[in-house]
Amino acid sequence: MFSKKMGFFRELSWADLAAWSGGEIASRGDRYQKERRVHGLALTPTGGLVAWVTGGQRYATSVDVVENKLVSHCSCPYGYNCKHAVAVILQYAEQVKNKTPLETAKENDERIILLNALNPDIPTNGSRIARENDDALTGKIGVLSKEELQWLIRELANIYPEARKFLSDYFLISSGNVKKIVAATERDILDLSAEPAWKHHWDDMQNLPDYSEVRKRLEMLLSTGHADEVLRLGEQLLEHGSQQVEESDDEGETGEEVATCMDVVFRALPLSSLDMKSRMVWAIDAELKDEFDITRGSEVFWQCHFETSDWSLLADSLIERLDDSLPTDSGSFSSSYKRDRFTDWIVKALEESGRNDECLSLCRKETEKTHSYVRVVRKLLDEGLLDEAETWIRKGITTTADSFPGTAAELRKILLEMRKRASDWSGVSALIVEEYIYSPRVETYKELERACQNAGVWPEVRKHILNFLETGVSPDGEAHTKGKKGPDIWPLPQTGLSERSNSFTRHFPIDEELIDVAIYERKPAEVLRLYDHYLTKGAEKMYGFDWRSPIELKVSSAIFRDFPDRAIPIWKRVVEEEIAITNARAYERAVSHISEFGKLMDEVGRMSEWVSYVSQLRADNKRRPRFLSTLDRINRKKIMEP
């Protein structure tokens, strides 16, 4: 087993590592390893790797090979496939290259036990070993005299500050001084949340709060039967933690810290003295106040069993609060959004209590107030009221087209799905045409082709669509460019929906979409013709800035096999323009392009030419070590090669 996994690591390339974690994460992991942030690297009992990695805090990180795939776990907020895991792999590679021996961690290693507690699926025997050790420890403690036990506790408290704090809190609670623990925790919450958190990528400087002590105290209060106190502290956390997260710039790490504390709070909720309806209201109010996903632990609470009567009482309670606490301001998106979130819970409560008629009536009324057309349409569809659903769809599109275009677009999608379920392929095609005219994308073109083929009208529709891309004349004959006329016969029905207006000026022909269509239809000569025409116009004249690189990459790939002598210079120009930007992300993009074209060159037997070009790039950019390091990662170089 060990030799097999070691063989896997030996064959691991930079490209494999970047593909596994992502280019940016791989870059950060590389930096962490070079900065000597990996400590105590060891083999695990299963043949994987485990280490401490110093980041914002010290994190336990493991990497293993499971079913011939890399698997990692970390105690950092990201949890897996993180920069810490990349750093561990690279540290292992360096120690192998330097022939530095590795120790094997014991099965009761602190890091393995910690990671196993966070991720029970880690392939170790950590849980079993921990239980066996606990049993053995209990037996040994049981034979100690009172004096020996007192000495042991004093020594632990002197050596480990966390143990001293734990004992102090425990004795306060056991002596009935719960208020002191609660007050101390409230102070911690206020102190921790007093300043915004921040993190700088460029120099690894950061100021991040550590809520671990708050979490430990919440756990202790919960385990000693003080669930109500945990709830009260949860309210403090939600208020002050949310404000801190809003003001912070730290990749979400503060949100993760607060969320782990709120997880404990939601575990306390079912054990509180509140009646069931009040518990449900508490959870809902917490979620409605949360804008940063720190209450995701509420899922644990909602997995509890609730009686139909509980849901009915909840519905009545929320309905009583609706108009008083959430007045409607039809002109305010924020007001409508908050009211919709609240009424979503009323809808759920009514559904769970079997009060479907009231639920549908509420949805109809609320739609007039908040424009929640999507909700009422979906509810009507669930009830099988298709005609009324379509009526609301058409009304909703007309009402929201200008003020809430996202809602109108969602309603169009629902109508499209209705036409598909009815196998009305002419209706489906007509709706897709309108979407394509509004926003020409090759993915929509493909969808339109499939629908029109089912309707038996693709050749005629395709002719109109290409004419639109060339001239701006829509299939209905309306010219977006003056003096142009399109084909006469249109084989699809009118949808009866209001036309959407674009906020930007269009230029015809729409070259990039014509190129995409030609690429999709595998017409390399047409791709090249369109591209050459596109170049004569100049991208800057069309858009005000240079959009050519994405087009050039698509074109060069599409024409490579038929016109390699045209494709290769295009590809090289894109690569060299990216390198000239001289930043890490541009280097990542450049090297990605190099890798993709290396595969194409290999397919046509021109790999030696590609290798020569890469060598020339190395020579031309020898003063750009960051680029050369990035190039190493994706040119299949093994991470253990010197």
- The 10s digit of each residue's pLDDT in 569-601 is 999 999 999 999 988 888 888 988 898 888 888
* Measured distance CA(409)–CA(439) in Å, rounded: 12
Beta bridge partners of 54: 58
Q: Which residue has the higher pLDDT, 537 or 563?
A: 563
Q: Which residue has the higher pLDDT, 85 or 202?
A: 85
Sorting pLDDT into bands at 50, 70 and 90, what band is 80? confident
pLDDT value at position 423?
97
Burial of 405 (0-12, 13-18, 19+ CB in 10 A): middle
Residues 449-455: what's their mean pLDDT? 98
Percent of the chain with pLDDT over 90: 53
* Measured distance CA(142)–CA(348) in Å, rounded: 53
Pick from 603, 505, 511: which is nearest to 557 by CA? 603
Helix (H) or strand (E) holding 59: strand 58-66
Q: Is the pLDDT of residue 483 over 70?
A: no
Percent of the chain with pLDDT over 70: 88
* Measured distance CA(618)–CA(477) in Å, rounded: 56
* Measured distance CA(66)–CA(70) in Å, rounded: 6
Q: Is the pLDDT of residue 634 over 80?
A: no
* Measured distance CA(621)–CA(616) in Å, rounded: 8
Residues 33-55: what's their mean pLDDT? 89
Q: Is the pLDDT of residue 527 over 90?
A: yes
Range of weakest confidence among 128-137, 165-174, 517-526: 128-137
Q: Is the pLDDT of residue 393 over 90?
A: yes
- Residue in the block written with tokens 């639109």: 468
The pair of three-digit structure tokens given for residue 453, joined into one six-digit string: 């083929």
Range of weakest confidence among 334-348, 414-428, 480-494: 480-494
Residues contacting 592, CB < 8 A, separation 6+ = 23, 634
Q: Is the pLDDT of residue 120 over 70?
A: no
Q: Which residue has the higher pLDDT, 94 or 136?
A: 94
pLDDT value at position 503?
67
Sorting pLDDT into bands at 50, 70 and 90, what band is 144? confident
* Measured distance CA(537)–CA(102) in Å, rounded: 62
Residues contacting 629, CB < 8 A, separation 6+ = 30
Q: Are strands 69-74 and 58-66 parallel, antiparallel or unpaired?
A: antiparallel
Q: Which residue has the higher pLDDT, 61 or 138?
A: 61
Tens digit of each residue's pLDDT (9 = 90 or more) over 561-575: 999 999 999 999 999
Tell me 165's DSSP state: H
Residues contacting 400, CB < 8 A, separation 6+ = 371, 373, 407, 408, 411
- Enumerate the domain spans of the chain: 2-135, 177-304, 423-509, 522-634
